[in-house]
A and B are shown apart, each in its own frame.
Chain A
């Protein structure tokens, strides 16, 4: 009889424990659902626009967190990886790197999720937005680089990449999907964008510029002889200005766009939408291909 009573008590205790556990799960779920509500509002933002219209202060839902870091070291390569947000890189006279970042998101939780890493790897300095969580919000980078930097690799998905006051002989690899690319001076350049305009001043040996729907606006100054320059666009125009000493064997293709060249050239082949020839003595190679955009080459 005692055994049966003990078993009954055990069953009773288990039942009460399960009941309390259920109550705990209900309360924890409730708390987590409430804390998740902000994300829900962000995800279904258009449905909740009336809130900001009603309050008339939509910007207040955006909060920003900023930071900066100074790095002293013999870094020759700078690598920047971003997902959304502008990347701005400027050359300066100081002998150290300064990395400023500004995180923006719909709420504090999303800003906390945005993680920025700045880490040296050998001769490289890697600045990156770490991929974690829902990856909402954006990070803007302002990076100041010393003259010893010889190579920059920057890539983003949605955001412009801008390089200003660049030192001499800096090789650059710049890639973005939705955003423009501009650099005011570069040695070798490899630039790719899907929907943005690409602008550059080139004075190196190797140039590769590709865009799908954006235009290309470039200048060539003191290009090294024996170099190769390839520019490709699908629906954007290509406008190039070259200095007086520029010489190249060129090949210009445009299926439905016009081709215009202001420079004295000698043609070796002329067809509809296709020109081949030489500028000067033809010491380097220039290839421009576009499907529906115009090609224009003029003096700098």
Chain B
């Protein structure tokens, strides 16, 4: 695999992450607004939609951090690093033999 291919794949992965986040957050906003409306139309008392907004929001925000702050997936990079480290360990073991 050429260096350009690798760069392209990384860029594609970052772009996919961002698009995935935008899609996720739009769905989140639409559903939360809908739940808030349902809650307040049928019973004005207990605001249960807030629990959904909070818990789901945390996941959406993690998605945001992954797509925009860690760029291309912090966990993916961690996985790649770990794979690389294991490969190096195998090579060291084979050298020792």
The residues of B that contact A29 with a CB separation of less than 8 Å are 50-51, 53-54, 57
Is the pair B57, A25 in contact by a Cβ cutoff of 8 Å? Answer: yes
Q: Which of A19, A25, A40, A43 contacts B53 (CB 8 A)?
A: A25
How far, in whole Å, are A30 and B28 apart by their CA atoms in the complex?
A: 17
Q: Which of B29, B61, B68 contacts A16 (CB 8 A)?
A: B68
The residues of B that contact A15 with a CB separation of less than 8 Å are 18, 21-22, 64, 67-68
Closest-by-CB residue of A relative to B52 is A29
How far, in whole Å, are A21 and B33 apart by their CA atoms in the complex?
A: 13
Is the pair A39, B29 in contact by a Cβ cutoff of 8 Å? Answer: no
Known contacts A15-B67, A19-B68: A32-B47 contact under CB 8 Å: yes
The residues of A that contact B46 with a CB separation of less than 8 Å are 36, 39-40, 43
Known contacts A36-B46, A39-B46: A18-B53 contact under CB 8 Å: no
Within 8 A of A (CB), among B50-85: 50-51, 53-54, 57-58, 60-61, 64-65, 67-68
Is the pair A134, B45 in contact by a Cβ cutoff of 8 Å? Answer: yes
How far, in whole Å, are A281 and B73 apart by their CA atoms in the complex?
A: 101
Q: Which of B26, B32, B50 contacts A18 (CB 8 A)?
A: B26
Interface size class of B (residues with CB under 8 A): 20 to 34
A173 shortest CB reach to chain B, Å = 31
Interface size, chain A (Cβ < 8 Å): 22
The residues of B that contact A32 with a CB separation of less than 8 Å are 47, 50
Closest-by-CB residue of A relative to B19 is A11
Is the pair B54, A26 in contact by a Cβ cutoff of 8 Å? Answer: yes
Total residue contacts A-B, CB cutoff 8 A: 65
- The answer, yes or no, to whether B25 is at the interface (CB within 8 Å) is yes
- The answer, yes or no, to whether B3 is at the interface (CB within 8 Å) is no
The residues of A that contact B50 with a CB separation of less than 8 Å are 29, 32-33, 36
B51 shortest CB reach to chain A, Å = 7
Is the pair B54, A21 in contact by a Cβ cutoff of 8 Å? Answer: no
The residues of A that contact B45 with a CB separation of less than 8 Å are 39, 133-134
0/1 string, B13-54, CB within 8 A of A gives 1 = 000001001100110110010000000000011110011011
Known contacts A15-B21, A33-B50: A25-B67 contact under CB 8 Å: no
Is the pair B68, A26 in contact by a Cβ cutoff of 8 Å? Answer: no
How far, in whole Å, are A239 and B50 apart by their CA atoms in the complex?
A: 57
Is the pair A25, B58 in contact by a Cβ cutoff of 8 Å? Answer: no
- The answer, yes or no, to whether A22 is at the interface (CB within 8 Å) is yes
List residues of chain A with CB under 8 Å of any chain B CB: 11-12, 14-16, 18-19, 21-23, 25-26, 29-30, 32-33, 36, 39-40, 43, 133-134
List residues of chain B with CB under 8 Å of any chain A CB: 18, 21-22, 25-26, 28-29, 32, 44-47, 50-51, 53-54, 57-58, 60-61, 64-65, 67-68
